Amino acid sequence: MTTKITMLGGGVGCSRVAVPLARALQPGELTLVVNTADDLWRYGLRICPDLDTNLYALSGRRDEERGWGLTGDTFVAMEQLRALGHDAWFNLGDHDLATHLLRTSLLRSGLPLSTVTSELVERTGIQTRLLPMTDSEVGSRIVMADGTHEFQEWFVRRGAAGPVTEVEYGGIESAVPSPGVLDAIANADLVVIGPSNPVSSIEPILALPGIREQLAARRASVMAVTPVVTAIPVDTAGDDHRTRAARALMDSRGLPHTATAVAGLYRDLASSFILDSADAAEAAAIEDLGLEVIVANTLITDPPRGDRLAEALVRRASGQIGDERPE
């Protein structure tokens, strides 16, 4: 019996669930619809951070301390650029560069991003389908008092500092979901809204034509995983950086960075919400929004925790009603 799950998400948070979920499913049963609004051109190379983070994580090569790039990578090319007086603020690892060189050359040969991505997936040997949310070029822009900044310039160069006035999704008005995305949502046994930044990673996907309608139409089998655990302080610089970014972007919407606020954003699209045990006090408020709440350990601090969360999702996908509460 196949159990197909489609997860919508961004980079680090999504990949932390995708890795154990891919382990819990058969090859080909997991599809990721990945945000591309963080993508950028740099040195003539098209860089897709969220696609690469999932590609590297699913092939066991992602640097866990940074959360992005390849483990053990070196940055000699960047050091050489600095030696030449260039401000290399976006750090591209020497091994990571190979991905950007190959992706860019395939794109320049006329292949759409979705085809290039499946080529990279094939060559990396992972069994999860990675679908960029769209083949069109899109890019979030962060509006601040001193001007508008491309997403990575804000996130990396400015350290995701606030206050942010608003987020613009450049190019989204003429973008459509890439081939297979709408089917992957319609035909999955379960759709998961992954634990990614709601404003910069999930919203761009939802902004594409047909996505919200598809999710709302099958809301009963759409589940969201909280991207925030308020009661447990983050313990790595990378997670602190990502939390700062999420807080600033939620604040630009007049929202606190809490599980309840995120649940409010997804209430019309998902019928259930996985809340972290540490934030269990928020369960009643989320239920009042009309969502079923499942309390679980959502911080995947070790593989067994990831497996338990993945098993809860697979049980839900295979219609095993009953207690999804992973211990």
CB 197 to ligand FO1: min, Å = 6
DSSP string for residues in 22-66 = HHHS-TT-EEEEE--TT-EEETTEEE-HHHHHHHHHHTT-B-TTT
Among 20, 49, 198, 204, binds ligand FO1 (CB under 6 A): 49
In the stretch 150-189, what mask flags binding to ligand FO1 with x, by CB under 6 A?
A: --x--xx---------------------------------
Cα separations in angstroms, 239 against 13, 47, 135, 236: 9, 21, 29, 5
Residue for token digits 């989204």? Answer: 172
Q: 216: which 2 tokens?
A: 């709302």
Q: What are phi and psi of 147, to 5 degrees?
A: 135, -175
If the CB atoms of residues 61 and 218 are measured against ligand FO1, the closer one turns out to be 61
Tell me if 38 contacts ligand FO1 by CB under 6 A: yes
Kindly identify the residues of this chain, within the stretch 232-261, that bind ligand FO1 according to CB under 6 A: 241
Strands 292-296 and 272-276: parallel
CB 52 to ligand FO1: min, Å = 4
In the stretch 68-97, what mask flags binding to ligand FO1 with x, by CB under 6 A?
A: xx--------------------xxx---x-
Nearest-CA neighbor of 260 among 248, 273, 244?
A: 273
If the CB atoms of residues 156 and 285 are measured against ligand FO1, the closer one turns out to be 156
Tell me if 10 contacts ligand FO1 by CB under 6 A: yes
Tell me if 298 contacts ligand FO1 by CB under 6 A: no
Residues β-bridged to residue 62: 70
Residues β-bridged to residue 144: 147
Q: Determine the size of the site formed for ligand FO1 (CB under 6 A).
A: 17
Alpha-helix runs per DSSP H in 59-112: 76-83, 96-108
Tell me if 63 contacts ligand FO1 by CB under 6 A: no
* Residues at the contact surface with ligand FO1, assessed by CB under 6 A: 10-11, 38, 47, 49, 52-53, 68-69, 90-92, 96, 152, 155-156, 241
